Amino acid sequence: MLKNIHSQKRVQLLFGFLIGIVFGFLLQKGGVTDYNVIMGQLLLEDFTVVKIMLTAIVVGMIGVRILITFNLAELHPKPGSVGSSLVGGLIFGVGFALLGYCPGTVAGAFGQGALDALLGGIAGMLIGAGLFAALYTRLEASILHKGDFGTKTIPELLKVNPWIVIAVATPLIIALLIWIETAGL
């Protein structure tokens, strides 16, 4: 039944749109479509972004693993390498701080009226993505596969059951969140 739903193109486009609406609604209610909140995080004054992300990770990590246990979902880990994940991540970080939005929240920021998100952020991202497509062949041949580790997950790397990693990571993340709260951040 699930495979059938997954293969219906129009239904999937509608699902994407509806899930996007809920995602945008949540991001806006969380305050993270606001430049001031994101810069507060990067200046280490306001930890709203980290609180939202870590909570989403804990809930999603457990939820998706339950779905997999009952054969109701499959994982799609992205491939990575030192050359792509690390270098690309740092370039992304510089852009993240200059813009004050990320690719999802820039769309949400535009939705709540931020013109810098549209004229600077969205316009710039289209240029940046186009630039990457133009340089892709050269980058792929030179740096993108340096130190390749494929689509490995942490449990595969450590050769343990995924539930063990979840059982260790969950209390650690909760402890970190409690520490952030008690520090008043």
Partner 1 sequence: MEWLTMSQWSPYAVGAGIGVLSCLAFFLSNKPLGASTAFARTSGMIEKLCRGNKTLEKAYYKKFKPTIDWEWMLVIGIIVGSFISSHLSGEFQMFAVPEVWRQAAGDSFFLRWLVSLAGGIMLGFGARWAGGCTSGHGISGTLQLAVSSWIAACCFFIGGIATAMIVFRILLAS
Task: Scan residues 117-146 and list those touching partner 1 (CB under 8 A).
Answer: 117, 119-134, 136-137, 139-140, 144
Minimum distance, C-beta of residue 139 to partner 1, in the bound complex (Å)? 7
Task: Scan residues 76-105 and list those touching partner 1 (CB under 8 A).
Answer: 76-82, 84-100, 102-105
Give the pair of three-digit tokens for residue 68: 């997999």
Helix axes 48-69, 162-182, angle to 10 degrees: 160
Report the distance separating Cα 73 and Cα 38, nearest Å. 32
Minimum distance, C-beta of residue 141 to partner 1, in the bound complex (Å)? 10
Minimum distance, C-beta of residue 145 to partner 1, in the bound complex (Å)? 12
Q: Which residue has the tokens 């390498």?
A: 81
Task: Scan residues 42-71 and list those touching partner 1 (CB under 8 A).
Answer: 42-44, 48, 51-61, 63-64, 67
Report the distance separating Cα 57 and Cα 154, nearest Å. 14
Q: Does 168 bind partner 1 (CB under 8 A)?
A: no
Give the chain's radius of gyration (CA, Å): 19
Q: Does 164 bind partner 1 (CB under 8 A)?
A: no
Report the distance separating Cα 111 and Cα 101, nearest Å. 13
